[in-house]
Structure 1
């Protein structure tokens, strides 16, 4: 009986150690600052805001919709491609899509 108890205790200790070691990585990921980037989400994959008559996340009607945003790491928005943006890149403010 002691062998079974020892194996169970070892398994429990190992499980606890693994779960504790995973926490710091998760906390670090949460610390990365994010910003709203308009015009970079694909249809139905935006994080929020997609204009009148929409509820929020996942409501964009077209790829690269100018009034729908996705969260990206801070400082990278204007480097992300946007096929409808006047500059060809994501924008920090909503915009009217260029047609063409």
Structure 2
């Protein structure tokens, strides 16, 4: 069965993060048990994290991401803001 490429990018919810992490793990052909052993994290925690558990412990989430070769990058949100018009029409030049 062919898997689509993992769509990395902005995360807006615990569910988004869990889905991305699960897709990344599966693309790398890693099991929850393997990640559990490598990161000293329970398979239950990892499973709940991948299902988007809102109350997942941040320290464990970051450890799971590191174990999977992922990192968190914080940057200002790109918001589409209309730019002021550069046209100076109507400003009389005598």
- TM-score interval (norm. to shorter): under 0.3
TM-score normalised to the size of structure 1?
A: 0.25
Structure label with greater radius of gyration: 1
- The structure where helix makes up a greater share of residues is 2
Normalised to the residue count of structure 2, the TM-score between the two structures is 0.26
